[in-house]
Structure 1
Amino acid sequence: MTIDESASGEAASGDACAGEAPRASSSSGAAGSSQGEMSGCGGRVAFGVLMNVVALLYLCVWMLLWRYDLGEAALRGRARFVGAPIIFLLGWSPLVLRTLAWPFRFVFSLRAADVGWGSVGWFAALTVPFLVTALVTGGVAWWGYSYAAPALADSRSGPVRYESVSCDGMYRAVKHTNDDAGDIEYVSMTLTSPDGLDLPVRVASAEFDRGLRAHDEPYVTVMDACRAEGTKIGISVYQHTGIVVDAWKTN
């Protein structure tokens, strides 16, 4: 009787990356297969970690260079945000799904006669990782989509112009955060016009002051409207995001 060493090696190795310990075998094929599985597992882990680090760096670059509150740059920066969740999901999802392969096989290997209270408990415990994976994947995907999709829609439709716009009150308020992060001060105002515009605007004070110092639009013109009562300006607004992209004086 002959023995197929290659088949024996595959069976003996198990799936190391999926969490199964390799079964003992005296064949050299089993050792080579086990090493290949572990090498593949290490490559997937390294790829997942690398993509998560890249996603974090991308998010830091976005916050430092692309995040604005007003102007055309604000729309472009908001659309660029979609890169962070995409990079994260590309590295994280395949790694986690591969790790969950062994509980998936365990659940489907249960026979009707094997299912008892103990198996039910195991089944309930093994569903938790799947639920966590689904919630994290769905949450990150929805977060990225809900933030970037309005900007992508506005980039296609373009801004809407409003005339005779006035500033209805302007004030600064501090938003308190948790103990590990500093408080953030915002400049808030409401821009209104006779043709139906009623737009609440909130800009980080640091960003607003930076725009004023640099004499950037629409910061300067919006500030003039809020500083002098009765001043009328014209503005262009993106409808989906509410970003004021441009402003000009009308009187």
Structure 2
Amino acid sequence: MNRNAKVIENSRINKNSDFYNACRNGDAQTALQHLTNNPVPNPNEIQPNGSTALHAAAYYGHVSVVRLIVQHCSISYLERNRYGFTAYEETYSNEIRQMLQSAQVATTNQYWWPTLYRMTNNFQHKTETTLSRLLNQITASRFLVAHADQIADLSRRASIIIDAKHVKSDEIMLFLSEFSTINGRLPIIYVLIENLSNDFVASLTVLPHVQGIFDNEESLIVRWALNMALEHRKTGHELLTSDDKQNAEFFLNESVALYQRLATIVHPKKRLT
């Protein structure tokens, strides 16, 4: 779809909120007035035209407005507009992309970031794979790629996705067995292998932290996303009961965003509105 077609939405602009219009027009002074009001407007709220204030400011390259939103609001970086883009994907400004990426790192506990660990030493398998592409699609680039010298750090993650598609099963089993001896809380592990066998699956039942073994990238990502969305929703509700509304909103927004992105993988032709 031609992204320039969004200009057609001008005829519908008056249906959107005043805050949205200020952000879209690059009116930083008016946007700041809204952001200092009580309650603070939600920059992730979908407007009648299918966009959000953050999307509009990012798309039209209004650096000062995006900076105000980042400074004053709790935002979901995974929110998509009606065209299926995040604000990061919408903007043509490298400065805005760097700003959103930096803010995302600063406000998101990296414990929740999935880590992709590739067991293969073959260089040709270290380029972008279907697995990394799907991870990028569902997490908005919020995943890390770990290397052999970072194994000790893996225990400080909520989940690890191991790409062992070009590794022998006995090597995988040895790695997982050794990893299970690491001190501290073990992360949930998802393993991608070349071919599933009943014997190999049975051998992993002694490792309770292994959540699933897959020979299909999409199946693995779907399972990971469902589990992570449920975990975020659970954490959000727990924070609500402790009256931590700001962090609760973040986790609940992330949960919804993961479900939305999951829909684009399961139903790639379906447009979210």
Normalising by the residue count of structure 1, what TM-score does the alignment of the two structures yield? 0.22
| TM-score relative to the length of structure 2 | 0.21
More strand by proportion, 1 or 2?
A: 1
Higher normalized contact order (CA 8 Å, seq sep 6+, divided by chain length): 1
